[in-house]
Amino acid sequence: MEWYIQLVKAYPIVTAMVQFALLGTLGDVISKWIIKKKIFLPYAPLTLFMKMGEWALLAIFIKYAFIGFHGFVDSLMAQGYLPEMIGLPYSFSISASMNLQFGPFLVIMHRLLDNFVLRESNWHNIDKGMYSLLWFWIPAHTITFILPKPFQIGLAAIWSVALGIILGYYNKKKTQNI
């Protein structure tokens, strides 16, 4: 595990991009597998490569947000706008501030990039993406920010697989009811 920590510390942006390119795309693919009830390649190879690029680009924003919102909460505590916190309250404060301020931008950016990659104009259920900030991402990132910093982006990328699975089951159920 030490090699991972050293790699992430030496190349924080590149490792974030690689982790999200692989795991974020995997979450997208697994979601399609669940909806169709079969394992298949849901995207043409070029589109799959572009999806990986989309996730890599999002990873840059996410990595900077992780750094920035740690500092944001630390600054608010230093100025007396938040009480001194450690542990779960501190982690929740970072997660809530990041997801409520940066999260809507990321949801919209993700959809814009999806539309670009898939060559479509799909804004259906964008509200569900916004709601996921509350029911999924704030709790998930509360756990994420408890971890030591070198592990935070990796867990965030794993959460994108978990959300892909959840959304796949939700969309499978939705298509069965139609």
Please name the residue ranges forming H helices in the chain: 2-10, 12-36, 45-78, 87-101, 103-118, 126-132, 138-144, 149-176
Q: What percent of the chain has pLDDT over 90?
A: 93
8 Å CB contact between 94 and 143: no
Residues 109 and 104: their CA atoms lie apart, in Å, by 8
Q: What is the mean pLDDT of the chain?
A: 96
Q: What confidence score (pLDDT) does residue 175 get?
A: 63
In tens, the pLDDT along 8-40 reads 999 999 999 999 999 999 999 999 999 999 999
Q: In which band, very low, low, confident or very high, does the pLDDT at 178 lie, cut at 50, 70 and 90?
A: low
Task: Please report the sign of the dihedral spanned by the C-alpha atoms of residue 125, residue 68, residue 7, residue 139.
Answer: negative
